Amino acid sequence: MEENQTPVSEVEILLREIDLHEYVSNFTEHDINDMEVLASLTDADLEKIGITSLGHRKKILVAAKKNGSGTPASNATGAESQKVDTQTFEQPEKKSGGGVWAFVGVLVAIVLIIIIAGSL
């Protein structure tokens, strides 16, 4: 590398890969040069540094999140960026048979009503 050439930051590489390299100066001016810092930014932070397009901010946030988790930057583009976060959330534990017992209770009540009505 030549002495007068500025090293390329991780953020610049990512921005070029997601075709948003026009924002490199926004990040450079605010000393955002590595993925750790980029991954910690919020939508409001990106807006504060001059990225006004909501779509571009979302694209950067998605790429930063994927890249911040150890995924290579090239995987943060293309079809990979179209995937929905597949993080699973715990489902509440279902009580098996609860619906069956409610149905049985209703049947018992109906039978009792018929028996009582028949004995009158």
Which regions in the chain score pLDDT beneath 50?
Answer: 1-3, 70-84, 86
Q: Render pLDDT for 47-61 as a digit per residue (tens, 0 to 9).
A: 999 999 999 999 999
**Domain residue extents for the chain:** 1-84
- Rounded Cα distance between 109 and 92, Å, is 30
The rounded distance, in Å, linking the Cα atoms of 38 and 63 is 10
| CATH no., domain 1-84 | 1.10.150.50
What's the pTM value of the predicted model, to 2 decimals? 0.53
Nearest to 77 by CA among 7, 35, 20, 8: 20
Instruction: Locate 109 and state its tokens.
Output: 């009540």
The CA distance from 60 to 43, in Å, is: 9
